[in-house]
Copies of this chain bind each other. A is one copy, B any other.
Amino acid sequence: MTPENLLPALADYVLQHGLSDVSLRPLAKAIGTSDRMLLYHFGSKSALIAALLDYLARNYAEALDTAFPQAVAASRKECVMQVLAIVRTDPFRPFMRLWWDIIAGAASGNDAYRESAKVIAEQLLDWFEAHMPQDDPDPKQGAKLLFTLIEGALMLDVLDQGHLADAGIAAAEL
């Protein structure tokens, strides 16, 4: 049993229970081992978290590609709405909870969190750029705009206020 083999189970647990309050003993129990073993494999809790964040970031891109349809939107507005519709489905909810944990950690100065979030954000931005409407006049900057909107909308979703973002986007030119 190598550390790498443990990562999927660890990721499952963390997706379900959050990252900020995780502690070794319950985590170990949930995946059928002991805190002693997690420390043996990873050296320390922070190293475990770092490996876990790396794993999540590495696996996020492919999760995106499998979950998102290849449909190309006709307009920027349609593109945003498509992505939002998908990202709001149940399978993505655990990841969103984790996402805000990571952002909060990064905001508090945790560099490992920030770096991991950066990787994920970059991948998402790249994905966005590749999925812009074919006739978009400026896909590169457009992707940045849509990405910013999406993140703002996801934040409002946390407050059950996603409809505000929807309304603002629906009424906009973009």
Contacts and interface: CB of A to CB of B under 8 A. Distances in A.
Interface of A is mostly: helix
A20 B150 CA distance: 25
**How many identical chains are in the complex?**
2
Contacts of A151: 151-152, 155-156
A168 B152 contact: no
A106 interface: yes
A2 interface: no
A121 B159 contact: yes
Q: How large is the interface on A (under 10, 10 to 19, 20 to 34, 35 or more residues)?
A: 35 or more
Nearest to A107: B100
Interface in A146-174: 146-153, 155-156, 158-161, 164-165, 167-174
Interface of A: 18, 20, 96-97, 99-101, 103-104, 106-108, 114, 117-118, 121, 125, 138, 141-153, 155-156, 158-161, 164-165, 167-174
